[in-house]
Amino acid sequence: MTARVIDGKAFAARVRAQVAAHVARLRDEHGLVPGLAVVLVGEDPASQVYVRNKGTQTTEAGMQSFEHRLPAQTSEADLLALIAALNADPAVHGILVQLPLPKHLDSDLAINAIDPAKDVDGFHISNVGLLGTGQKAMVPCTPLGCLMLLRDHHGSLAGLNAVVVGRSNIVGKPMAQLLLGDSCTVTIAHSRTKDLGAVCRGADILVAAVGRAEMITGDMVRPGATVIDVGINRVERNGKLRLVGDVDYASAAAVAGAITPVPGGVGPMTIACLLANTLTACCRAKGLPEPDGLTA
């Protein structure tokens, strides 16, 4: 079997177009422009690239982008004061504090200082609790993107066995919650899981969010399963730097029914879902109908 390739790049472009169309309607019918504020502390090169991409795509979707670049030595008090000002700013509907923060800053404190209604990353403890209890939450962008791809491929996910490898607060745990919310039978695997291969082979849906290049191999995949590869790893191959996932694509694609590639799978969905969350936050703040299909 050769797996169907789930094209996250094309899907993300459709999500961005849907967001842009909805934003245009908000502007025309309500004079409303959703705004996303991104806070970057320090000069981490990868974070600089992410923040630039977020800003560009926010503007392209017709929304307002507010970038706040603070020096690496910024104090906790100054960071919290900026977050408080953004919470109070009516032009800002979404706030994202780019992680990781420099070591002297407490990221939990910063995230939990964001107004939960503006927490478009879905990391605030209130949103974690709302998601965990099946209530309307702001949902973390990467797992939301994975869920959209899975719903698009399968239709209903009810009754499917899902295995999520990884239990981080950013990807693994919210992914598991979302799959449970869609009535999958969910297993969460991690570094202490015994016989990971056997656990993975029980999956109709296998989500890899491990951070280890190509560690999920074809022999760990049930024939016909859907494989979602969240991993982004930079490895050197033949003297060149390449991006690879947490899944060994060649061997897994030979067994799976469908698979996301790296790059071009889950990655592009993350910013698309950030835009979707910003739009959703704006609609909720104003009591307006939310866009279809862009929330959990």
> Active-site residue among 54, 115, 229, 246?
54
Q: Quick check: 167 binds ligand NDP (CB under 6 A)?
A: yes
Identify the residue among 35, 122, 172, 261 touching ligand NDP (CB under 6 A): 172
DSSP 117: G
As a whole number of Å, the CA-based R_g of the chain is: 19
**Using the rule CB under 6 A, is 150 a contact of ligand NDP?**
no
Q: Of the two residues 153 and 167, which places its CB atom closer to ligand NDP in the complex?
A: 167
Residues 265-284: x where in contact with ligand NDP by CB under 6 A, - otherwise, as a string: -xx--x--------------
Q: Is 284 exposed, middle or buried (0-12, 13-18, 19+ CB in 10 A)?
A: middle
| Residue 187 in the binding site for ligand NDP (CB under 6 A) | no
Place of tokens 């869609």: 182
Q: Is residue 196 within the footprint of ligand NDP (CB under 6 A)? A: yes
Among 63, 232, 252, 253, binds ligand NDP (CB under 6 A): 232
The vertex-93 CA angle with 34 and 85, nearest 5°, equals: 130
24-32, 70-78, 127-135, 210-218 -> range binding ligand NDP (CB under 6 A): 210-218
**Does the active-site annotation cover 121?**
yes
**Alpha carbons 89 and 93: distance in angstroms, whole number:** 8
Measured CA to CA, the distance from residue 208 to residue 165 in angstroms comes to 5
182 is an active site residue: no
Angle made by CA atoms 143, 82, 127, in degrees to the nearest 5:
30
165 contacts ligand NDP (rule: CB under 6 A): yes
Count CB-CB contacts under 10 A for residue 89.
14
Any catalytic annotation for residue 9? no
Nearer to ligand NDP, 192 or 240 (CB): 192
* Nearest-angstrom CA–CA distance, 33 and 27: 6
Q: Residues 8-27 vs ligand NDP: string with x where CB under 6 A?
A: --------------------
Residue whose structure tokens are 């996250």: 8
Ranges within 243-262 binding ligand NDP (CB under 6 A): 246
Other Cβ atoms less than 10 A from the Cβ of 27: the count is 14
Burial 172-193 (b: 16+ CB within 10 A, else e): bbbbbbbbbbbebebbbbeeeb
Residues in the chain: 296
Considering the rule CB under 6 A, would residue 203 count as an interface residue with ligand NDP?
Answer: no
Which of 18, 57, 98, 177 is an active site residue?
Answer: 98
191: contact with ligand NDP by CB under 6 A: yes
Give the residue with the Cβ less far from ligand NDP, 116 or 172.
172
Contact pick of 190, 234, 242, 286 for ligand NDP (by CB under 6 A): 190
What's the rounded Cα separation, in Å, for the pair 191 and 40? 31
Which residues sit at the interface with ligand NDP, rule CB under 6 A? 142, 165-168, 170-172, 189-193, 196, 209-212, 230-233, 246, 266-267, 270
Q: Which residues are catalytic?
A: 54, 98, 121
